[in-house]
Amino acid sequence: MLKSFTDADTQPVDRIQTLDQCEVADTFAAFAAEIGPEGFQFLYQRLKAGHDDGPTLVVVQDQRIVGALGPLSLMPGPDGRRMQPPAYFAVHPAYRGQGHGRRLWRASMAWGRHHGADVKILQAAMGSAAAGLYATEGLQTLGYVA
């Protein structure tokens, strides 16, 4: 899926912060473990080893991290446009349906726009909650892989 950045992508987003400035950053390991064996556990291990792959955005509720999106980065696209590539993105199942995913998404778009991205590229399983969110946020489907 693809979305071109617009001026609408510069709006500030409430209750989203970066992991490195989060007061309950120590709950990221538990969040990563509860989300599953891929993605955030890999990212957590990299952070623990001292790697900085870019900022990770988080949302906190009940004194714990309940959603995250990251690491955020930019890269040159094959056509010369600056792309914001896919990042790990999840909201804890017990905290879904409260707008956390949409706020994380919009904060990642604001980050990309602020840092000069032209387009955002994503992948999502057809019919998934993520695909539904992306469609309502203006992403266009580029095709499907079977």
pLDDT at 110: 94
> pLDDT tens per residue, the chain (146 residues)?
788 888 888 877 889 999 999 999 999 999 999 998 788 999 999 999 999 999 999 999 999 999 999 999 999 999 999 999 999 999 999 999 999 999 999 999 999 999 999 998 887 777 777 777 888 887 777 776 66
Count the domains in the chain: 1
N-terminal to C-terminal alpha carbon distance within the chain: 15
Residue 143 resides in a domain? no
Q: Pick from 43, 94, 90, 96: which is nearest to 67 by CA?
A: 90
pLDDT at 145: 67
Residue 27 resides in a domain? yes
Q: In this structure, how many other beta carbons lie within 10 angstroms of the beta carbon of residue 104?
A: 25
Instruction: Look up the domain containing 114 and give its range.
Output: 2-136
Q: Which residues of 79-93 are buried (b: 16+ CB within 10 A; e: fewer)?
A: eeeebbbebbbbbbe
Residue 141 resides in a domain? no
Tokens of 60: 């906190």
- Can you give the CATH number for the domain in which 50 is found? 3.40.630.30
pLDDT at 14: 86
